[in-house]
Chain A
Amino acid sequence: MASSNLTRSRDVKLRGIAASPGVAVGQVLRLDERGRHQFYYIGVSAAQVRMEVRRLREALDEGRAQLRESKVRLARELGYEHSFILDAHLLMLEDERLVAELENDIRTRRVNAEWAVRAVTDRAIEAYKQVSDSYLRERTSDLEDVATRLLTILSGKDEFDLSKLDQDVIIVAKNIWPSTVAELDFSHVLGFATNAGGIASHTAIIARALGIPAVVGLREVTRYAKTGNAIVIDGAVGEVILRPTKSVIRDYSLKRERDEKRRARPGVKPSEAAETLDGARVTMRANVELSTEIESLARFGAEGIGLYRSEFMFLNRLPELPSEEEQYAIYRKLAAATGDAGASIRVFDLGGDKLTLEGFEEENNPALGLRAIRLSLKVEHIFRTQLRAILRANLHGHLRVVLPLVSTITELRDAKRIIADVKQEMAEAAIEHNAALPVGVMIEVPAAALMADLFAREADFISIGTNDLIQYILAVDRANENVAHLYQPLHPAVLRTLAYLVRVAETEKVPLELCGEMAADPLQAIAVIGLGIRTLSLVPASIPLVKNAIRSVELERVTSLMKDAMKLTSALEVEELLARELPRQAPRFFAAWPSQQ
């Protein structure tokens, strides 16, 4: 790492979207978009045609073999719900029409195999784009993926065998495709930095599931980063520094070590409670997106699941919705794995920036549009299927449902009426289920926060979804770089809202929990505990870190600190107060806490 090149080059700082927390310091591995692989048009002689056809056939064989292997790997590592896309790719490579057309192009046009692959798949993609069917039009990306796989094989440049990396790397790419993720050797991947993507992108989800730092939405990182460059990424802040100077590398290496020490402080076992020095107990639940994350719950010491984002089960496969059986299998797994601690299933949070259903037009302003509970109530059969699967799976544990984005009390009442109706239908049809299913509301809309006392009387529990709540309170899209700096979790308006919700929950005696990224940031987590929140739900990999923070503070002191914070006038003042006082109160954890946090 001590090459003079590093010290000569300047720190290139890029801001992106914080997609998965943690610091990584290492070397860039640039994934060239395979679609951009350089290939040439070569006119071939009649004699060479046979040779090109043979190259093509070998590449097809190789591609099929790769896909079969990837399919097995993907099914094993991420669950079979993700492996289906690769089977479609495999069928394309087995498609005799496609193969015949490729060979025909080589023979009649006398071109090299690469050119035939590009030309034939381009024609097919063009044909698909003509069809007035949005789902089918999107399948062009599968064709693109298949084409570039063949081009990569043909180009013969196996610079990196991704499944056998021999050094630790940080992957830099325009985007990370599902088929690439399936091939990665995760033990050597320290982080991801991509041009494209948002918080809900595939890259972000995989990174969070694996506990690997990631920054997405960087727009131009591939323009500046070359394989072998030094790079620093901070997945909590959303920052990437290319060709950092030695001092920057040192700073971030220290920060990473501190992070790691905090995460794995000797003596803090997963079984040890998140308890403040003065004995206040905080419940730490897990946010889960992939069913395969369930295995990590015990390792990180999660006490059940506070938020299962059910819509992620059909990422990459819309508009096909998971069947009742498929959902049942996953919910049953959640129920069985969490036992008495239970699991909260957030019903499909579709629409908006998440995922869109076929048959619904794109909206001008999706954040304020037909999404989440609004969509579930409108497309009731999807909601009912999901409820049936949950009620059946509930026989194996203690499930709860959370309704996302409620804004009026009628939505809660309508949902409860449908739930009661589904239970009755199941009882009449003698379908075994467990009807003891608490129904909670997710407070994400300011209207619901202001009426929390009324919701509390009709809901079994309240869950605060801070990511969206903050965006709606402050009218800031945190993925919009022009205003992202205004996304301030410690804004007094946010703190006042949280304090109000705590008061309501106490008065109405309903359980209250907070899920959202605030819970995963040690400083912010301590702040919300000081406000009176006692249950947090966060990404499993961050539980040990936050638990260590909690075990280093006294509740009484942070409560009084937050009383002072509530008198301040801006997020900046609150941050300054916390950054000054927490290291004094809890030097064991917060000493030398970086000020930019």
Chain B
Amino acid sequence: MQERIVTISNRLGLHARAAARLVRRAGQFASDVELARLDTGESADGKSILSVLLLAAARGTSLTLKISGDDEERAADELVELFEQKFGEEASDGVF
């Protein structure tokens, strides 16, 4: 299992758009993706938009990404990158 800690740095937090990007990306991997808030311990299934939205993770929230499966390493790298790139929020790429 891969465990990574990320902090949400995009302005709007894990709201609809960012959550959707995360879920879409997570869905491309075979591995299970779990997100857990460091502060409350609440966790969510990274492949479920309803579950991710319920975390209500605003900017500044730190999360542990727990990823396990055949492609866990690649999944961990790419998902961490997504957080680091602020879900493309600052440079709108026009899709979605």
Contacts and interface: CB of A to CB of B under 8 A. Distances in A.
Contacts of B56: 131-133, 136
A320 B58 CA distance: 13
A95 B16 contact: no
A95 B12 contact: no
B90 to A, nearest CB: 6
A128 B92 contact: no
Contacts of B90: 323
Given A80-B94, A320-B17, A133 B58 contact: yes
Interface string A111-137: 000000000000010011001110110
A92 interface: yes
B89 A128 contact: no
Given A97-B45, A139-B53, A320-B15, A91 B91 contact: no
12 contacts: A87-B96, A97-B45, A97-B47, A97-B51, A127-B54, A131-B54, A132-B56, A135-B15, A139-B16, A320-B17, A325-B91, A329-B94
A98 B92 contact: no
A88 B92 contact: no
Given A96-B48, A131-B54, A136-B56, A87 B91 contact: no
Contact of A95 (B15, B50, B58): B50
A41 interface: no
B75 interface: no
A166 interface: no
A92 B49 contact: yes
Nearest to A101: B50
Nearest to B12: A320
Contacts of A133: 56, 58
Given A128-B54, A319-B15, 14 more contacts: A84-B17, A88-B20, A92-B49, A96-B48, A97-B50, A97-B51, A98-B50, A131-B54, A133-B56, A320-B16, A323-B90, A326-B92, A326-B94, A329-B94
Nearest to B48: A97
Contact of B20 (A91, A127, A128, A136): A91
Contact of B23 (A91, A322, A323, A329): A91
Among B12, B16, B89, B90, the one with the most A-chain Cβ atoms within 10 Å of its Cβ is: B16
Interface in A319-349: 319-320, 322-323, 325-326, 329
A329 B94 CA distance: 10
Contacts of B17: 84, 320
Nearest to A85: B16
Interface string B72-91: 00000000000000000111
Among B47, B54, B91, the one with the most A-chain Cβ atoms within 10 Å of its Cβ is: B54
A481 B48 CA distance: 45
Interface string A92-109: 100111100000000000
B4 interface: no
Contacts of A136: 15, 53-54, 56
Nearest to B20: A91
A98 B90 CA distance: 31
Interface string B4-19: 0000000010011100
Interface of A: 80, 84, 87-88, 91-92, 95-98, 124, 127-128, 131-133, 135-136, 139, 143, 319-320, 322-323, 325-326, 329
A96 B47 contact: yes
A208 B56 CA distance: 36
B32 to A, nearest CB: 11
B48 A98 contact: yes
B49 A88 contact: yes
Contacts of A80: 94
A319 B20 CA distance: 16
A323 B12 contact: no
A258 B24 CA distance: 54
B50 A323 contact: no
Contacts of A132: 56
A91 B12 contact: no
A91 B92 contact: no
A92 to B, nearest CB: 6
A485 B56 CA distance: 45
Nearest to B23: A91
A96 B46 CA distance: 11
A275 B13 CA distance: 54
Contact of A87 (B20, B50, B53): B20
Contacts of A329: 94
B53 A128 contact: yes
Nearest to B14: A136
B40 to A, nearest CB: 12
Nearest to B55: A131
A80 B20 CA distance: 16
Among B17, B23, B48, the one with the most A-chain Cβ atoms within 10 Å of its Cβ is: B48
A29 B46 CA distance: 42
Contacts of A135: 15
Interface in B1-43: 12, 15-17, 20, 23-24
A329 B17 CA distance: 19
The 6 closest A-B pairs by CB, nearest first: A97-B48, A323-B92, A133-B56, A91-B49, A326-B92, A131-B56
Nearest to A323: B92
A92 B19 CA distance: 11
Contacts of A320: 12, 15-17
Among A128, A133, A319, the one with the most B-chain Cβ atoms within 10 Å of its Cβ is: A133
A571 to B, nearest CB: 46
Contacts of A98: 48, 50
Nearest to A124: B50
